[in-house]
Amino acid sequence: MINIVLFGKPGAGKGTQAEFLKDKYNLTHISTGDVFRYNIKNETPLGKEAQAFINDGQLVPDSLTIKMLQDEVEKNSQSRGFLFDGFPRTIAQADALDAFLATKNWDVTATVALEADDEILVARLLERGKTSGRSDDQDEEKIRNRYQEYNEKTAPLIEYYQNQNKFYSVNGIGSVAEVTERLSSVIEELEAKIRG
Ligand code: B4P
């Protein structure tokens, strides 16, 4: 079992990289952002609750997010491992993830961060906003709000995982293929360790 948390600021490329890594390493990819967007599109009760938070660039409350994540893991309990993309984003979510995985005798193998400068990322998101239809990518104020949320609530997870000796980081600037190569080196190192 290998469970990787893909970590990084909004727009760092978590979703982009997960698309390649899930096939390369045969992992189940769970993007909390994608699950929320699916629920919003289909106007489910969960989607209706999450919509206002996402539109304003705020994090969705932990209670909704944690339950949703657990449901997604349960649906894929035969998986050889998970790629968590955009989860956890708060200390409470990280604690809940550890406790939940422990009930299955699993754990987070490592958290791998994509490092990138805020100004480059804001430009990436504004560019995507021109075509994505994502309301949270179109307005610079909402994008800046996402960075404030990251700094206040998500950045403390770096220390959280460093204290567990599980934090790795790679440079997130470069071509998509170059960044995939950097992440692959870390994952292969982790897999080699697991094999012993
Ligand atoms: P997410 O959907 O997780 O998205 P993200 O942070 O915007 O982006 P990501 O890092 O995946 O970037 P991507 O690859 O798409 O979150 C959206 C919202 O959902 C949150 O703000 C929050 O409200 C809510 N939410 C989600 N999870 C939550 C949780 N756990 N708790 C509470 N709320 C939660 O890439 C971005 C752009 O960059 C793309 O256009 C891409 O093409 C481009 N790009 C990627 N790599 C590149 C590269 N190497 N070079 C150039 N461009 C690149």
**C-alpha 172: how far from chain center:** 14
Nearest residue by C-alpha to atom 2 in ligand 1: 33
In this prediction, residue 117 carries a pLDDT of: 94
Terminus-to-terminus CA distance in the chain, angstroms?
13
Beta strand extents in 18-176 (DSSP E only): 28-31, 81-85, 110-115, 167-171
pLDDT per residue rounded down to tens, the chain (196 residues) = 999 999 999 999 999 999 999 999 999 999 999 999 999 999 999 999 999 999 999 999 999 999 999 999 999 999 999 999 999 999 999 999 999 999 999 999 999 999 999 999 999 999 999 998 888 898 899 999 999 999 999 999 999 999 999 999 999 999 999 999 999 999 999 999 988 8
Q: How far apart are CA 25 and CA 184, in angstroms?
A: 9
Mutational test site, ligand 1, from 34, 71, 87, 124, max ligand atoms within 8 Å of CB: 124
Q: How far apart are CA 118 and CA 187, in angstroms?
A: 25
Using a 6 Å cutoff on CB, does residue 124 contact ligand 1? yes
Mutational test site, ligand 1, from 7, 9, 14, 35, max ligand atoms within 8 Å of CB: 14
